[in-house]
Amino acid sequence: MDIAGLFLAAVAFVMLLGMENRISRTDRRLARVERKLDLIVDHLGLREEDPRMDEVVALARSGKKIPAIKTYREITGAGLKEAKEAVDRIV
């Protein structure tokens, strides 16, 4: 009985590793597709400015970088590094 349980646990572990690998590959592929789509949208000039971006600019220029970064992330869904770089470009 113990051997069967150990065997089932090993099989489950291997299956989880395989699923995580597939999820990781899917995440990487999705990120590539999003980057390509962003390039296409930028090239076509289809970006719609969010009215709250004015708030980000005002916060950044008044020296409130952390709230500006936080608001930028809420609006765009960007990561911390990308949002910080964007706010730094504003200032």
Number of structural domains in the chain: 2
Q: Determine the structural domain holding residue 15 and report its residue range.
A: 1-47
- Report pLDDT for 82: 92
Q: Report the distance separating Cα 90 and Cα 79, nearest Å.
A: 17
Kindly state whether residues 41 and 66 are assigned to the same domain. Answer: no
DSSP class per residue in 35-84: HHHHHHHHHHT-PPPPTTHHHHHHHHHTT-HHHHHHHHHHHH---HHHHH
pLDDT score at 26: 85
How many residues appear in the chain?
91
Question: Which pLDDT value is given to residue 1?
Answer: 55
Q: Are residues 60 and 78 in the same domain?
A: yes
**Are 17 and 36 within one domain?**
yes
Same domain? For 40 and 75 the reply is: no
Which parts of the chain have pLDDT scores under 70? 1
Token pair listed for 37? 């789509």
**Which pLDDT score, from 0 to 100, does residue 84 have?**
94
pTM of the predicted protein model: 0.51
- Residues 12, 40 within the same domain: yes
Does 38 share its domain with 58? no
Instruction: Tell me which of 47, 64, 79 is where a domain ends.
Output: 47
